Amino acid sequence: MDVHQWLTGTLAADVMTRDVITLRHDITMAEAAELLLKNQISGSPVVSDGHCVGVLSANDLVAAADEVTKSRQEFAQSGFWEDGLSLPVHLYEEKLAAVRAKISPIAQQPVENFMTSDVVSVSEQTTLADVVQKLVDAHIHRVLVVDDNDQLAGLITTTDVLAGLLRQTRSGAGLNR
Protein backbone atom coordinates (compact mmCIF):
# COMPACT_ATOMS: atom_id res chain seq x y z
CA MET A 1 0.00 0.00 0.00
CA ASP A 2 1.36 3.44 -0.85
CA VAL A 3 0.94 6.61 1.23
CA HIS A 4 -1.74 7.98 -1.09
CA GLN A 5 -3.82 4.79 -0.78
CA TRP A 6 -3.44 4.83 2.98
CA LEU A 7 -4.48 8.50 3.25
CA THR A 8 -7.46 8.14 0.90
CA GLY A 9 -8.53 4.75 2.23
CA THR A 10 -8.38 5.62 5.93
CA LEU A 11 -11.29 7.41 7.60
CA ALA A 12 -11.20 9.88 10.47
CA ALA A 13 -13.01 7.31 12.62
CA ASP A 14 -10.11 4.88 12.06
CA VAL A 15 -7.42 7.09 13.62
CA MET A 16 -9.20 9.56 15.89
CA THR A 17 -8.76 9.69 19.64
CA ARG A 18 -12.16 8.86 21.09
CA ASP A 19 -11.50 9.58 24.76
CA VAL A 20 -11.11 13.35 24.44
CA ILE A 21 -10.18 15.58 27.35
CA THR A 22 -12.42 18.67 27.14
CA LEU A 23 -12.43 21.99 28.96
CA ARG A 24 -15.49 23.87 30.16
CA HIS A 25 -15.73 27.38 28.70
CA ASP A 26 -16.00 28.96 32.14
CA ILE A 27 -13.01 27.42 33.93
CA THR A 28 -10.04 29.64 34.59
CA MET A 29 -6.93 29.65 32.47
CA ALA A 30 -5.02 28.29 35.49
CA GLU A 31 -7.39 25.30 35.70
CA ALA A 32 -7.11 24.75 31.95
CA ALA A 33 -3.31 24.88 32.00
CA GLU A 34 -3.27 22.41 34.89
CA LEU A 35 -5.51 19.97 32.97
CA LEU A 36 -3.39 20.25 29.82
CA LEU A 37 -0.19 19.63 31.78
CA LYS A 38 -1.68 16.80 33.84
CA ASN A 39 -2.87 15.02 30.70
CA GLN A 40 0.28 15.86 28.73
CA ILE A 41 -1.62 17.44 25.84
CA SER A 42 -1.05 20.70 24.03
CA GLY A 43 -4.67 21.64 23.49
CA SER A 44 -8.27 20.65 24.04
CA PRO A 45 -11.79 21.33 22.79
CA VAL A 46 -13.79 23.81 24.88
CA VAL A 47 -17.40 22.90 25.57
CA SER A 48 -20.48 24.72 26.80
CA ASP A 49 -23.82 22.97 27.33
CA GLY A 50 -22.49 19.88 25.57
CA HIS A 51 -21.48 21.73 22.41
CA CYS A 52 -17.97 22.50 21.29
CA VAL A 53 -17.53 26.28 21.27
CA GLY A 54 -13.79 26.49 20.73
CA VAL A 55 -10.35 25.04 21.19
CA LEU A 56 -7.68 26.11 23.65
CA SER A 57 -4.08 25.36 22.72
CA ALA A 58 -0.69 26.04 24.23
CA ASN A 59 -0.31 28.78 21.61
CA ASP A 60 -3.47 30.41 22.96
CA LEU A 61 -1.98 30.39 26.47
CA VAL A 62 1.14 32.19 25.23
CA ALA A 63 -0.95 34.67 23.20
CA ALA A 64 -3.10 35.33 26.30
CA ALA A 65 -0.05 36.37 28.30
CA ASP A 66 0.96 38.77 25.54
CA GLU A 67 -2.56 40.19 25.27
CA VAL A 68 -2.89 40.87 29.00
CA THR A 69 0.57 42.48 29.12
CA LYS A 70 -0.39 44.73 26.19
CA SER A 71 -3.73 45.63 27.84
CA ARG A 72 -1.95 46.56 31.06
CA GLN A 73 0.48 48.80 29.18
CA GLU A 74 -2.35 50.49 27.28
CA PHE A 75 -4.27 51.03 30.51
CA ALA A 76 -1.25 52.57 32.23
CA GLN A 77 -0.95 55.08 29.38
CA SER A 78 -4.68 55.72 28.92
CA GLY A 79 -5.29 58.51 31.40
CA PHE A 80 -8.29 56.51 32.68
CA TRP A 81 -8.23 58.01 36.14
CA GLU A 82 -8.43 61.60 34.92
CA ASP A 83 -11.12 60.84 32.32
CA GLY A 84 -13.04 58.63 34.71
CA LEU A 85 -13.55 61.41 37.24
CA SER A 86 -15.77 63.30 34.80
CA LEU A 87 -18.05 60.32 34.10
CA PRO A 88 -21.33 59.61 35.90
CA VAL A 89 -20.73 57.05 38.65
CA HIS A 90 -22.56 54.17 36.94
CA LEU A 91 -20.57 54.66 33.69
CA TYR A 92 -17.31 54.98 35.63
CA GLU A 93 -18.04 51.71 37.49
CA GLU A 94 -18.93 49.90 34.23
CA LYS A 95 -15.77 51.14 32.54
CA LEU A 96 -13.64 50.22 35.55
CA ALA A 97 -15.15 46.71 35.69
CA ALA A 98 -14.38 46.22 31.98
CA VAL A 99 -10.79 47.38 32.49
CA ARG A 100 -10.32 45.13 35.52
CA ALA A 101 -11.61 42.13 33.57
CA LYS A 102 -9.19 42.85 30.75
CA ILE A 103 -6.08 43.34 32.88
CA SER A 104 -6.76 40.84 35.66
CA PRO A 105 -4.20 38.04 35.94
CA ILE A 106 -4.56 35.52 33.13
CA ALA A 107 -4.79 32.68 35.62
CA GLN A 108 -8.09 34.07 36.93
CA GLN A 109 -9.71 34.74 33.56
CA PRO A 110 -12.07 32.26 31.89
CA VAL A 111 -10.93 30.09 29.00
CA GLU A 112 -13.62 31.59 26.73
CA ASN A 113 -11.70 34.90 26.74
CA PHE A 114 -8.72 33.34 24.97
CA MET A 115 -9.87 30.19 23.15
CA THR A 116 -9.95 29.96 19.39
CA SER A 117 -13.63 29.94 18.48
CA ASP A 118 -13.18 29.07 14.80
CA VAL A 119 -13.38 25.31 15.22
CA VAL A 120 -12.22 23.11 12.36
CA SER A 121 -14.17 19.86 12.30
CA VAL A 122 -14.72 16.86 10.08
CA SER A 123 -17.14 13.96 10.04
CA GLU A 124 -16.17 10.44 11.04
CA GLN A 125 -16.36 9.47 7.34
CA THR A 126 -13.84 12.10 6.19
CA THR A 127 -10.75 10.59 4.60
CA LEU A 128 -7.45 11.08 6.31
CA ALA A 129 -6.21 12.84 3.15
CA ASP A 130 -8.90 15.50 3.67
CA VAL A 131 -8.09 15.74 7.38
CA VAL A 132 -4.40 16.32 6.61
CA GLN A 133 -5.36 18.97 4.04
CA LYS A 134 -7.43 20.80 6.68
CA LEU A 135 -4.55 20.66 9.17
CA VAL A 136 -2.18 22.12 6.60
CA ASP A 137 -4.56 24.75 5.21
CA ALA A 138 -5.59 26.05 8.64
CA HIS A 139 -2.07 25.81 10.15
CA ILE A 140 -3.41 23.86 13.11
CA HIS A 141 -2.43 20.72 15.00
CA ARG A 142 -5.87 19.25 15.73
CA VAL A 143 -9.26 18.85 14.08
CA LEU A 144 -12.40 17.83 15.87
CA VAL A 145 -14.38 14.85 14.65
CA VAL A 146 -18.15 15.20 14.96
CA ASP A 147 -20.86 12.59 14.58
CA ASP A 148 -24.08 12.83 12.53
CA ASN A 149 -25.67 14.89 15.34
CA ASP A 150 -22.77 17.38 15.27
CA GLN A 151 -21.61 16.14 18.68
CA LEU A 152 -17.93 15.71 19.50
CA ALA A 153 -16.96 12.12 18.66
CA GLY A 154 -13.20 12.45 18.73
CA LEU A 155 -10.12 14.39 17.83
CA ILE A 156 -7.32 13.95 15.32
CA THR A 157 -3.97 15.56 15.96
CA THR A 158 -0.86 15.70 13.85
CA THR A 159 0.58 13.15 16.28
CA ASP A 160 -2.33 10.77 15.51
CA VAL A 161 -1.54 11.03 11.79
CA LEU A 162 2.16 10.38 12.36
CA ALA A 163 1.41 7.48 14.71
CA GLY A 164 -0.86 5.96 12.04
CA LEU A 165 1.90 6.28 9.47
CA LEU A 166 4.35 4.63 11.86
CA ARG A 167 1.94 1.75 12.53
CA GLN A 168 1.53 1.22 8.80
CA THR A 169 5.27 1.17 8.17
CA ARG A 170 5.80 -1.29 11.02
CA SER A 171 2.98 -3.60 9.92
CA GLY A 172 3.54 -6.32 7.38
CA ALA A 173 1.89 -4.19 4.68
CA GLY A 174 4.22 -1.24 5.05
CA LEU A 175 4.00 1.89 2.99
CA ASN A 176 5.63 2.61 -0.32
CA ARG A 177 6.27 6.07 -1.66
The whole-angstrom separation of Cα 151 and Cα 18 is: 12
> Which alpha helices (H) appear in the chain, and where do they start and end?
3-9, 12-15, 29-38, 58-76, 80-84, 89-103, 128-138, 158-170
Res 127: pLDDT: 97
The whole-angstrom separation of Cα 101 and Cα 97 is: 6
Res 72: pLDDT: 62
Res 67: pLDDT: 73
Res 103: pLDDT: 56
Res 153: pLDDT: 93
Residues 175, 5 contacting (CB under 8 angstroms): no
Residues 160, 47 contacting (CB under 8 angstroms): no
Q: Could you give the angle at the alpha carbon of 6 between the alpha carbons of 19 and 145, nearest 5°? A: 30
pLDDT (tens place) for every residue of the chain, 177 residues total: 678 888 999 999 999 999 999 999 999 998 999 999 999 999 999 998 878 999 999 888 888 777 766 766 666 666 655 665 666 767 667 766 666 666 566 778 899 999 999 999 999 999 999 999 999 999 999 999 998 888 899 999 999 999 888 888 787 555 555
- Taking alpha carbons only, the member of 152, 132, 130, 126 closest to residue 54 is 152
Res 136: pLDDT: 96
Bridge-based pairing of strands 43-48 and 23-24 is parallel
| 85 CA to centre of own chain | 40
Res 50: pLDDT: 75
Taken in order of first residue, the domains within the chain and their CATH numbers are: 3-170 (3.10.580.10)
